[in-house]
Amino acid sequence: MNSSNNNLLNSLYIVWLNTPKSYKLRLILITILSVISGLTEIITLGSVIPFLSVLLDVNSAQSSYIIKIFTNFFSFINIDTSNLIFTVTFFLYYLYYYLQY
């Protein structure tokens, strides 16, 4: 098992040494962009769960610290209308993002 891993690493190292510099830079850039893309995907998935919990349970929205800051900032908005605002904002963002592509 250890020798097969060693052979694989040696093969990758030999390929890396024989790769032109422009391709190495492209590979590094693609790797960095892939990591950034993965992190933003995690953030996106992590933001959907609190959004759905606010839509499904109004009491959780009233106890949320971020929602309290939002409603205090916009004092004319109560919790019922804030659900509508969150939903419309989320929907408009979804339309804007997916209609671009």
**Angstrom distance (rounded) from CA 99 to CA 45:** 20
* DSSP letter assigned to residue 57: -
Tens digit of each residue's pLDDT, the chain (101 residues):
566 668 888 998 999 999 999 999 999 999 999 999 999 888 887 777 777 776 677 666 566 666 667 667 666 555 566 666 777 777 777 777 777 66
**What's the count of helices (H) and strands (E) in the chain, helices before strands?**
5, 0
Distance CA 15, CA 10 (A): 9
Sorted by where each begins, the domain ranges of the chain are: 21-100
The model's pTM is 0.49
DSSP strands (E only) in the chain: none
Using CA atoms, how far apart are residues 101 and 95, in angstroms rounded to an integer?
10
